């Protein structure tokens, strides 16, 4: 049983959790939007703007929690902007999301250079440090899984529980799901589908913004162009894989995090496998599992469909 105390295994478990958090938060946000009937392809852009605003806030203020809060706020505002096009203007939600992602890519790069100049090395901040749980952190398996992480990681896991309580045990969740399944019927019950969709997409943006901020103010302490590197799109796949359920999304995100941690460690071994194939591993695994489970995704009936107030 000596393998239980192997530091390599402990590092792998801790890395799996850490690498899963940004995607978990974005996917959790996507769940709120999709349950209300809005397909939020813009998760990538919301993560990226949260990553940037969180970093720049911490750089100039020195306050990590303020950086996280600003990322949440800016993410929510970005969500409202996307909702305006998707809900009010009834634009194609896929096209709007992709355009939004491209816009945020340019905006974050431009303002980063405006703040720090072009051609200079990215400044660094001191990221969140892991909480010291003492002997609990040394417990085999459970230690690196539960007791070796920073505050944002624990906040993220708490948000999973909060998301479950809201969606499964509250009237708010019932209202969101009713609008996502049949907005016309929901309106006859006194609900406002447009307002609910706006609120759901704002929450989606807030969570995605926090997920992006995790990359810069918790995982690395730096900001780079296109730092999210497609994690918002992976979050959409994780959302389907997790069947749009908070706990299912968490398990799917941990699976992706484990695959990513595995490929990072495999690069250090003299296996002879080309580096590019190792980098592909977590994405290929996600696609394979997604292909198997896509038929049971549980998508809301009105997902992606525009709604005309009073049209039912």
CA distance 173 to 168: 6
Q: Which residue has the higher pLDDT, 298 or 131?
A: 131
Picking from 253, 287, 290, the residue whose alpha carbon sits closest to that of residue 25 is 253
Q: Which residue has the higher pLDDT, 303 or 309?
A: 303
Segment 205-229, tens digit of pLDDT: 999 999 999 999 999 999 999 999 8
The per-residue pLDDT of the chain, averaged, comes to 88
Is the pLDDT at 190 greater than 80? The verdict is: yes
Segment 59-73, tens digit of pLDDT: 999 999 999 999 999
Q: Point out the least confidently predicted range of 12-16, 37-41, 49-53, 206-210.
A: 12-16
Q: Point out the least confidently predicted range of 183-197, 219-233, 278-292.
A: 278-292
Instruction: Say how many C-beta atoms besides its own lie within 10 A of residue 148's C-beta.
Output: 22
pLDDT for the residue numbered 297: 61
pLDDT for the residue numbered 3: 46
107 Cβ contact partners less than 8 Å away, ≥ 6 residues apart: 49
Instruction: Say how many C-beta atoms besides its own lie within 10 A of residue 229's C-beta.
Output: 14
pLDDT for the residue numbered 304: 85
CA distance 49 to 77: 11
Q: At what angle do helices 93-116 and 64-83 cross, to 10 degrees?
A: 140
pLDDT for the residue numbered 293: 66
With pLDDT > 70 as the criterion, what percentage of the chain qualifies? 90
What's the mean pLDDT in 259-284?
Answer: 73
Do residues 55 and 216 lie in contact, with contact meaning Cβ atoms separated by under 8 Å?
yes
CA distance 12 to 14: 6
> Can you say whether the dihedral through the CA atoms of 215, 100, 41, 38 is positive or negative?
positive
DSSP 63: -
Domain positions in the chain are: 20-121+149-296
Segment 158-189, tens digit of pLDDT: 999 999 999 999 999 999 999 999 999 999 99
119 Cβ contact partners less than 8 Å away, ≥ 6 residues apart: none
Distance of CA 254 to the CA centre of its chain: 12
Using CA atoms of 129, 130, 133, 138 in order, give the dihedral in degrees to the nearest 10.
-130
Q: Measuring CA to CA, how many Å separate 144 from each of 8, 156, 310? A: 11, 16, 53
Is the pLDDT at 307 greater than 90? The verdict is: no
Q: The pTM is what?
A: 0.92
pLDDT for the residue numbered 288: 77
């Amino acid at each position: 049983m000596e393998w239980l105390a192997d530091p390599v295994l402990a590092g792998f478990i801790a890395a799996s959790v850490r690498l899963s958090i940004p995607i978990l938060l974005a996917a959790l946000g996507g769940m709120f939007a999709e349950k209300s009937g809005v397909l939020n392809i813009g998760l990538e852009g919301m993560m990226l703007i949260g990553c940037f605003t969180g970093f720049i806030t911490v750089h100039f203020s020195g306050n990590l929690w303020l950086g996280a809060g600003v990322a949440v706020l800016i993410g929510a505002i970005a969500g409202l902007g996307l909702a305006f096009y998707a809900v009010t203007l009834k634009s194609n939600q896929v096209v709007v999301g992709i355009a939004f992602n491209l816009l945020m890519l340019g905006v974050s790069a431009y303002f980063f250079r405006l703040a720090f100049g072009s051609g200079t090395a990215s400044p660094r901040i001191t990221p969140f440090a892991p909480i010291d749980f003492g002997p609990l952190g040394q417990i085999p398996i459970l230690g690196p899984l539960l007791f070796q992480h920073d505050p944002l990681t624990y906040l993220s896991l708490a948000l999973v529980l909060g998301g479950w309580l809201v969606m499964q045990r509250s009237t708010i969740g019932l209202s969101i799901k009713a609008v996502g399944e049949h907005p016309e019927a929901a309106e006859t019950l006194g609900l406002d589908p447009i307002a609910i969709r706006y609120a759901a997409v704002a929450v989606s943006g807030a969570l995605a913004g926090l997920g992006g901020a995790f990359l810069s103010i918790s995982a690395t302490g730096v900001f780079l162009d296109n730092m999210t590197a497609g994690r918002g799109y992976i979050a959409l796949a994780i959302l389907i894989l997790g069947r749009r359920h908070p706990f299912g999304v968490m398990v799917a995100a941990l699976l992706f995090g484990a695959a990513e941690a595995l490929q990072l460690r495999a690069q250090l071994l003299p296996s002879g496998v080309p580096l590019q194939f190792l980098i592909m591993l977590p994405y290929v695994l996600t696609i394979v599992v997604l292909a198997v489970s896509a038929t049971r995704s549980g998508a809301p009936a009105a997902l992606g469909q525009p709604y005309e107030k009073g049209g039912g």
